[in-house]
């Protein structure tokens, strides 16, 4: 029997913005992943936790706004220095 992989806690909230909007506002893309795939989600969650523990970063998620990206549940982890 195959073991079910659980989704780890993500320490970044959905920004409600596209990656283009965040790029324009000076956010830095850290990681891209397919949100529907537990292994990729967990790698992104681990990276977000690492950045959170470093301190000094605001973290958000952005969606891919292309049809293919939406269909594939592509998301982007972004960081920005806390002000």
Long-range contacts of 68-74 (CB under 8 A, 24+ apart): 72/34, 72/36, 73/34, 73/35, 73/36, 74/32, 74/33, 74/34, 74/35
How would you classify the pairing of strands 28-34 and 13-18? unpaired
Domains in the chain, number: 1
Do 82 and 58 touch, CB atoms closer than 8 A? yes
Query: Domain limits at 30?
Result: 13-66+73-81
Q: Is residue 2 part of a domain?
A: no
- Give the 3-state secondary structure of residue 21: helix
Predicted confidence pLDDT, tens digits, the chain (83 residues): 567 889 999 999 999 998 889 999 999 999 999 999 999 999 999 999 999 999 999 999 999 889 999 899 999 999 999 97
Q: Is residue 39 part of a domain?
A: yes
The pLDDT assigned to 65 comes to: 86
């Amino acid at each position: 029997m195959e073991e079910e992989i659980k989704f780890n806690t993500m320490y970044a909230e959905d920004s409600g913005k596209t990656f283009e909007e965040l790029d324009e506002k000076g956010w830095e893309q850290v990681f891209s992943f397919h949100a529907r795939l537990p292994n990729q989600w967990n790698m992104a969650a681990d990276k977000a936790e690492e950045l959170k523990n470093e301190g000094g970063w605001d973290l958000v998620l952005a969606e891919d706004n292309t049809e293919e990206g939406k269909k594939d549940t592509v998301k982007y982890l972004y960081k920005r220095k806390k002000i």
